Amino acid sequence: MNKAALEVLISVGAIRQVRIIADGFAVYIKITTQAGETSTVTTNKGGIKTWVTIDASAKWLKGLGVGRAQLEISRWLPGQRGMTF
């Protein structure tokens, strides 16, 4: 689900749950709709949209009008850097 689709769902109140998931060095967002469908937020090119910090992802959501999100940090490794190839 890209940003444009998410904005539409937010505007019509079709979001049931928002989760910020910190996994290793990456932070990403999963959305569950009122219909029970779960999607990961993607870029316009279709890749998973990631953030380097939890607060950056929270600020992005806040900018879209989301006021509540669950935070999952069980697999988060603070300070870990991504591998570059």
User: What are the chain's domains?
Assistant: 3-75 (3.30.720)
Instruction: Report yes or no: 61 and 54 within 8 Å, Cβ to Cβ.
Output: no
pLDDT class for 73, splitting at 50, 70, 90? very high
Predicted pLDDT at 45: 94
Quote the radius of gyration of the chain (alpha carbons, Å). 13
**pTM for the whole structure:** 0.87
Identify which has the larger pLDDT, 12 or 76. Answer: 12
Predicted pLDDT at 81: 63
Q: How far apart are CA 38 and CA 81, in angstroms?
A: 28
Q: How far apart are CA 18 and CA 71, in angstroms?
A: 9
Express each pLDDT in 15-59 by its tens digit: 999 999 999 889 999 999 999 999 999 999 999 999 989 999 999
Contacts of residue 32, defined as CB under 8 A and 6 or more positions apart, other chains included, come to 15, 16, 17, 18, 19, 38
